[in-house]
Amino acid sequence: MSDFWENSLIQTAAYFSVVVLCMIVFLTIFELVTKYNNWEQIKKGNMAVAFATGGKIFGIANIFRHSIQQHDTLFHMIGWGVYGFLLLLVAYFIFEFLTPKFKIDEEIENNNKAVGFISMVISIGLSYVVGAGI
């Protein structure tokens, strides 16, 4: 049975499956902390929401990429991925706090593409910083 788990194809499928599941859970958490419905806004063509959501997806995937490369067990990979996600979530709240002149969520919901783009870049950029620490 150990040969089964050491097979590269099986390991890749396991990592992929776990990351997709984590991605769904993490995007659901992001959905709960934002004041708008991500997927409904994207369906309406709101590019600011698409930028911000795309940045979150890329950021989460990038953190897991680093986690997969640096850890040899699935459980360590998940643990570091969850930790990285929590750091991205904290960054989201810091971004909101550091912009007291306007509300990030309101601007993104109102299709302010500049705010959505900055949100995307923050998520992607910080995912590299988190990944380097993993």
> Amino acid identity of 109?
E
Q: Write down the pTM of the prediction.
A: 0.89
pLDDT at 48 > cutoff 70? yes
Q: What is the pLDDT of residue 2?
A: 66
**DSSP states of 29-75 as a string?**
HHHHHSSS-HHHHHHTT-HHHHHHHHHHHHHHHHHHHHHHHH-SSHH
Average pLDDT, the chain: 92
